[in-house]
C-alpha cells in the first residue's frame, strides 16, 4: 500500500484549499493594515460591506478548518501510514515529522486562538451568517494578546506550508520518488 486512504486524501486537500485561502486572506489583512489597524485598512481598501464579508469568511473558514482537523487526526490515528516506494533518509523523516506535527498543532491552535480573540474583543464569532458562542467574556487586553499570537502563528504556518509545498516539489521534480502519489488522486 503506497497511498493514504480516500478519506485521508479528501481531508488533506479540503483542509489545504481552506488553509491556502485563509493565508491569502490573512496576508491581505496584513498588507492593507494602517496605523489604525487591520479593520481600518480593509475598509479603506475594499469598503465596509466587503470588509464585513472578509471577516465573516475568515472566521467561518477558521471554524471549518478546526472542525475538519478532528476527523483528520482521528483518521491519522486509526489508519495505517502507507509505505514509501523509496524510503526517506533520516533527515527527510525527521523534517517531515516535525513539519507535519507543527502544522497539525497550528491548525488546531490558530482557529481556537482566533475564536477566543474575537470573543475577548467583543466581536461576534460568525459562521456563514450565524453566530457561535464566544466561549469567553470581553477582555480587550486579552484580545490584543491573542490577536498578536494569531498573527505570529499565521506567519509560522505560512512558513510551514511553504516548506511542505517545497518538499512536495523536491520529491516530484528532483528525487522523482513517487512520494506525491501517496496523497494524490492520480
Closest of 160, 50, 36 to residue 110, by C-alpha:
160
Based on its alpha-carbon atoms, the radius of gyration of the chain, rounded to whole angstroms, reads 18
Q: How much is the pLDDT for 85?
A: 86
Q: How much is the pLDDT for 84?
A: 86
First to last CA, the chain: 15
Residue 102 and residue 160 in contact, taking contact as beta carbons nearer than 8 Å: yes
Residue 32 and residue 45 in contact, taking contact as beta carbons nearer than 8 Å: yes
C-beta atoms surrounding 121 within 10 Å: 16
Q: How many whole angstroms separate alpha carbon 19 and alpha carbon 33?
A: 21
Residue 68 and residue 18 in contact, taking contact as beta carbons nearer than 8 Å: yes
Cβ neighbourhood burial of 51 (10 Å; 0-12, 13-18, 19+): buried
Q: How much is the pLDDT for 185?
A: 81
Whether this model's pTM surpasses 0.85:
yes
Give pLDDT tens digits along the chain (186 positions).
689 999 999 999 999 999 999 999 999 999 999 889 899 999 999 999 999 999 999 999 999 999 999 999 999 999 988 988 888 999 999 999 999 999 999 999 999 999 999 999 999 999 999 999 999 999 999 999 999 999 999 999 999 999 999 999 999 999 999 888 999 886
Amino acid at each position: 500500500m503506497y497511498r493514504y486512504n480516500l478519506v485521508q486524501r479528501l481531508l488533506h486537500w479540503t483542509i489545504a484549499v481552506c488553509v491556502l485561502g485563509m493565508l491569502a486572506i490573512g496576508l491581505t489583512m496584513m498588507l492593507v493594515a494602517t496605523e489604525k489597524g487591520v479593520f481600518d485598512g480593509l475598509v479603506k481598501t475594499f469598503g465596509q460591506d466587503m470588509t464585513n464579508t472578509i471577516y465573516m469568511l475568515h472566521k467561518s473558514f477558521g471554524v471549518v478548518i478546526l472542525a475538519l482537523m478532528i476527523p483528520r487526526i482521528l483518521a491519522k490515528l486509526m489508519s495505517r501510514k502507507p509505505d514509501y516506494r523509496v524510503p526517506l533518509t533520516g533527515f527527510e523523516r525527521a523534517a517531515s515529522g516535525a513539519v507535519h506535527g507543527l502544522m497539525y498543532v497550528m491548525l488546531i491552535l490558530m482557529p481556537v486562538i482566533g475564536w477566543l480573540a474575537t470573543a475577548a474583543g467583543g466581536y461576534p464569532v460568525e459562521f456563514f451568517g450565524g453566530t457561535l458562542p464566544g466561549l469567553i467574556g470581553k477582555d480587550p487586553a486579552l484580545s490584543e494578546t491573542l490577536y498578536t499570537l494569531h498573527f505570529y502563528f499565521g506567519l509560522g504556518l505560512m512558513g510551514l506550508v511553504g516548506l511542505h509545498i517545497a518538499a512536495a516539489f523536491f520529491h516530484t521534480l528532483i528525487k522523482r520518488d513517487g512520494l506525491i502519489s501517496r496523497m494524490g488522486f492520480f
